[in-house]
């Protein structure tokens, strides 16, 4: 990997007196998709929340050449990190257009890109986001990060979780396209998607980095995938350890 855009070393997180991360190391490539993998409860979401300063953290998180562990979440967002949280975080009572408008930060928001990737968002602009399907809400959540041309990194936490296979494909296409413009750190359990999208991967287990390297290499190694990810079937099956989607 050429010089990483984001470089995490010895990330430790304690929440409510409980040590959740004991030392996560990860590098996010300056282009394309880097996948963050691990079994349920391994510490993926906490890693993302630690990177974003949403939980108290220690260690080193270098982003774009600067140490950010002392920075607030707000400062990181201002520096161009876009976040698609696991629960999508859309405002249910607001319309699609209002959800997008709230995310505008730049003078020239990229509605052209967002509507090209997700034509449904234009069609449903006046619909309350709470009445959208899970897949459509995910499009709003991803769309919000793409709206800001100044975003230099997108972190997406399990964007396909719970979605129907057809919608997973739509979201995958959008992520693939988005990754051509902005590097993505993708938390994902759907290994078929990881295989399709990710160049590199990092695996966490019990709050520590257990593996890092080319995604294709790990997924081609059935034994290693099984040990690290608990995959009970071929790693190129349509679904990951999260179950059928």
Ligand X SMILES: Nc1ncnc2c1ncn2[C@@H]1O[C@H](COP(=O)(O)OP(=O)(O)OP(=O)(O)O)[C@@H](O)[C@H]1O
Please give the Cα distance from 204 to 30 (Å, whole number): 21
Binding ligand X (rule: CB under 6 A), the pick from 28, 35, 46, 178 is 46
Stretch that binds ligand X, among 16-24, 191-199, 217-225, 228-236 (CB under 6 A): 16-24
In this chain, which of 16, 65, 232, 243 binds ligand X, going by CB under 6 A?
16
Distance CA 146, CA 129 (A): 18
Instruction: Report if residue 84 touches ligand X, rule: CB under 6 A.
Output: no
Coarse DSSP helix, strand, coil percentages of the chain, rounded to the nearest 5 percent:
35, 25, 40
Nearer CB in complex with ligand X: 45/145: 45
Which among 222, 161, 228, 172 has a CA at the least distance from the CA of 197?
A: 172
Give 16 or 70: the residue with its C-beta nearer to ligand X.
Answer: 16
Considering the rule CB under 6 A, would residue 42 count as an interface residue with ligand X?
yes
The answer to the question of residue 186 lying near ligand X (CB under 6 A) is no
* Paired residues of 154 in beta bridges: 82, 184
Task: Please identify which residue in 2, 3, 18, 223 interacts with ligand X, judged by CB under 6 A.
Answer: 18
By the rule CB under 6 A, 215 interacts with ligand X: no
Q: Are 182 and 170 in contact (CB under 8 A)?
A: no
**Both tokens assigned to 100:** 């997008």
Residue 86 phi/psi, 5-degree rounding, is -60, -35
Asked whether position 20 contacts ligand X by CB under 6 A, the answer is yes
Interface ranges with ligand X (CB under 6 A): 15-16, 18, 20, 38, 40-46
């Amino acid at each position: 990997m050429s010089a990483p855009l984001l470089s995490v070393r010895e990330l430790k997180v304690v929440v409510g007196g409980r040590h959740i991360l004991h030392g996560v190391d990860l590098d996010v490539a300056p282009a394309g998709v880097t996948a963050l993998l691990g079994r349920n409860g391994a510490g993926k979401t906490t890693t993302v929340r630690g990177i974003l300063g949403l939980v108290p953290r220690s260690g080193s998180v270098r982003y774009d050449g600067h140490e950010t562990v002392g920075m607030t979440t707000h400062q990181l967002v201002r520096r161009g990190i876009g976040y698609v949280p696991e629960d999508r975080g859309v405002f249910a009572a607001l319309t699609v257009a209002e959800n997008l408008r709230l995310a505008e930060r730049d003078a020239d928001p990229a509605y052209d890109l967002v509507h090209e990737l997700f034509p449904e968002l234009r069609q449903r602009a006046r619909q309350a986001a709470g009445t959208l399907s899970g897949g459509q809400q995910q499009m709003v959540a991803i769309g919000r990060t793409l709206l800001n041309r100044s975003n230099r990194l997108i972190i997406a936490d399990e964007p396909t979780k719970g979605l129907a296979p057809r919608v997973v494909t739509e979201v995958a296409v959008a992520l693939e396209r988005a990754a051509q413009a902005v590097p993505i750190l993708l938390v994902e359990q759907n290994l078929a998607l990881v295989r399709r999208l990710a160049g590199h991967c990092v695996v966490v287990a019990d709050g520590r980095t257990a593996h890092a390297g080319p995604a294709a290499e790990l997924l081609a190694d059935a034994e290693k995938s099984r040990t690290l990810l608990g995959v009970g079937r071929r790693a190129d099956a349509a679904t990951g350890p999260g179950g059928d989607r």
